[in-house]
Amino acid sequence: MKTSFPKQDIRVLLLEGISRSAVETFRQAGYSQVELHPKALPEAELKARLAEAHIVGIRSRTQLTPALLEQARRLIAVGCFCIGTNQVDLAAARRLGVPVFNAPYSNTRSVAELVVAEAIMLLRGIPQKNVLCHRGGWTKSAEGSYEARGKVLGIVGYGHIGTQVGVLAESLGMRVLFHDIEAKLALGNARAAASLDDLLECADVVTLHVPDTPATRMMIGAEQLARMRQGALLINASRGTVVDIDALAAALLRGHLAGAAVDVFPIEPKGNDDRFASPLVGMDNVILTPHIGGSTLEAQENIGIEVASKLVRYSDNGSTLSAVNFPEVALPEHPHSRRLLHIHRNVPGMLSRINEVFSAGNVNIDAQFLQTDAEVGYVVIDVAADVVQAQALKDRMAAIPGTLRTRVLY
Ligand SMILES: NC(=O)c1ccc[n+]([C@@H]2O[C@H](COP(=O)([O-])OP(=O)(O)OC[C@H]3O[C@@H](n4cnc5c(N)ncnc54)[C@H](O)[C@@H]3O)[C@@H](O)[C@H]2O)c1
Ligand SMILES: O=C(O)CC[C@@H](O)C(=O)O
């Protein structure tokens, strides 16, 4: 399919060691300018590279702030090759007419498996036993070592990952209690806790699976840790902002908690060569992992294909289905017409001004699709026009006050 400018001129910038499956997906769709970086870029370099990129792919490290997005004038879409999208200012991207896509399920199972494995390891005191053996020690003892069977697992955030963790934990004979701000269908024998406090007071193991939102920031602080049972265990594979890490270190040091497994941190290194620091470093009863809950080869390969396919579909066809910050439009193919995309501020009279462009140009509209939210409108118009006419229509639409982005797909 011929696009408003040749696909070989569309620059795709993929950061943070995104799977090669993404590169393959772009190449198979005809995109040849795909650049893959193993790390996040320092801010100045990121700014320069974003100014040239049409499509950017990131994971959880790269922060796309309003200032960075505003100067990325060529940017048509952002792909978060992960579940979390808190690293992108979604409202700013929307205001600028840039849809953001992610992979909402592709690493769910990987996180769930790790969490259940960690619960078993912590209940058996394996982290400290492992360290001791490495140091030449030997304590063959059942002291502080428990089966998972019959223990209460408290899941905070009963969404995609939380429910998977619950299903796996029940298969081990654990009793599952969950807390969520939404009413949720309980799977298996899981039951909803009366409140977060209730869950914290009842659970032997607490595992966190909430997104990073203003309400979840520091939701587990000194007070919540104190509510947890003496000798309980905490697992955090959600976001580093959810737990007050100093309070957690203090609860572990005084022996109130018997152990923890932490995969996400308030400050994380930019890449594999950078240094990691945390108040939890050196605690033998704590499993520390470098934000790899979703990092299995299976998950990363699937994420690469899923997010790259969504970006290709938007770039080729205009479809915004499953965008996380944008009016969603599912579009059919348009083999016999030119397709014009118009993204605008949602102000009164916009649609009639767009339609005037077509009536003034005496061009017949084959199909029109419109979706709006409170701030942004997205109109897709298929017309029977040749390349020159379509370009002229696009230029006239671009001149309408309130226009954010226009494109033409031939
Ligand atoms: N460690 C990793 O590598 C890794 C991998 C994938 C996802 N994650 C993180 O895990 C998070 C959860 O992923 P998911 O796919 O299960 O998301 P999800 O959206 O399916 O589930 C999140 C759940 O949390 C609930 N929730 C939101 N705010 C809450 C609050 N204040 N109190 C209680 N519940 C609340 C939601 O209602 C929802 O049910 C992601 O947002 C991401 O930050 C981490
Ligand atoms: O791969 C990453 O960097 C993020 C993984 C995880 O936190 C997610 O949000 O999917």
Catalytic residue, from 24, 35, 201, 268: name it. Answer: 268
Can you give the pLDDT at residue 394?
Answer: 94
Average pLDDT of the residues in 349-358: 93
* Alpha-carbon distances, residue 406 vs 7, 64, 400 (angstroms): 17, 22, 10
pLDDT band at residue 6, thresholds of 50, 70 and 90? confident
Residue 2, pLDDT > 80, answer: no
Residue 210, pLDDT > 90, answer: yes
- Give, using CA atoms, the residue closest to atom 15 of ligand 1: 160
* Minimum mean pLDDT range among 38-47, 87-96, 176-185, 383-392: 383-392
Question: Any catalytic annotation for residue 52?
Answer: no
Between CA 394 and CA 49 the distance in angstroms is: 27
Residue 228, pLDDT > 70, answer: yes
Q: Please, is 47 exposed, middle or buried when counting C-beta atoms within 10 Å of its C-beta (0-12, 13-18, 19+)?
A: middle
* Ligand approaching nearest to the C-alpha of 58: 2
Can you give the pLDDT at residue 106?
Answer: 93
Q: In terms of Cα–Cα distance, which of 251, 273, 278 is closest to 262?
A: 278
Can you give the pLDDT at residue 334?
Answer: 79
- Give, using CA atoms, the residue closest to atom 19 of ligand 1: 159
- What is the overall mean pLDDT for the chain? 95
- What percent of the chain has pLDDT above 90? 90
The model's pLDDT over 281-339, given as tens digits with 9 standing for 90+, comes to 999 999 999 999 999 999 999 999 999 999 999 999 999 999 999 999 989 887 778 89
Question: Any catalytic annotation for residue 43?
Answer: no
Between CA 115 and CA 117 the distance in angstroms is: 5
The model's pLDDT over 121-168, given as tens digits with 9 standing for 90+, comes to 999 999 999 999 999 999 899 999 999 999 999 999 999 999 999 999
The model's pLDDT over 37-88, given as tens digits with 9 standing for 90+, comes to 999 999 999 999 999 999 999 999 999 999 999 999 999 999 999 999 999 9
Can you give the pLDDT at residue 410?
Answer: 64
Can you give the pLDDT at residue 84?
Answer: 95
* Alpha-carbon distances, residue 57 vs 118, 324, 388 (angstroms): 30, 15, 32
Q: What pTM was computed for the model?
A: 0.94
Q: 267 C-alpha to center of ligand 1: Å?
A: 19
Question: Any catalytic annotation for residue 175?
Answer: no
Residue 1, pLDDT > 70, answer: no
- Give, using CA atoms, the residue closest to atom 18 of ligand 1: 159
* Ligand approaching nearest to the C-alpha of 181: 1
Can you give the pLDDT at residue 5?
Answer: 64
